[in-house]
Amino acid sequence: MLIRLCDGVTLWGKIAIIERFCQDPSPIVRDWLLRFAIDSDGLAAMYCSLLIAEKGHLLDALAVPEIDDPLFLGASGIISGLLDAGAPGGDISDYADGQAAVEAWLTQAEQRAPLLTTPRPATPWRQTPGCPPRAC
């Protein structure tokens, strides 16, 4: 599965993988996209945040009462990328659910503010929640 290729891939290689994943994302791939696709790689955030938000169902993922830390951190990177006005991959004004997603993220942020100042560790694909051992 292509998700195995993501460990250690950066910049344009990562963007290519994200774009491929977004063509027809399974639930496992959507989980990976929302949690781990956007990290310290600013290029992926500029080019892929809108695509990930739409194909990963960001609003649906944030609209539950409680989310896990990797999802919150991943959503934070996606929201940050969307708020980059004029980003080449699209910005918040291009995202139909943009306002609702930001509001849902803010609701989650009220409970998790300390995470925003904690450096994000790299998480290998093997630790992706819901990923069966043989599927990933």
Q: What is the pLDDT of residue 67?
A: 93
Is residue 14 included in any domain, yes or no? yes
In the prediction, which pLDDT does 25 show?
Answer: 78
Residue 79 domain-assigned (yes or no): yes
Q: How far out from the chain centre does Cα 113 lie?
A: 18
Q: What is the mean pLDDT of the chain?
A: 81
Q: Could you tell me which residue, 69 or 61, shows the higher pLDDT? A: 61
Please report the pLDDT score of residue 114 as a whole number.
Answer: 65
Task: Determine, yes or no, domain membership for 52.
Answer: yes
Average pLDDT over residues 76-85: 92
- How far apart are alpha carbons 97 and 4 in whole angstroms? 30
Domain that holds residue 71: 2-119
Average pLDDT over residues 108-134: 60
H helical segments located in 22-132: 27-32, 42-55, 58-62, 69-82, 98-112
Q: Is there a domain that residue 68 lies in? A: yes
Q: Is residue 125 part of a domain?
A: no
**Structure pTM?**
0.78
134 lies in a domain?
no
Q: How far, in Å, are 18, 64, 77, 93, 103 from residue 43 at the CA level?
A: 12, 29, 12, 19, 25
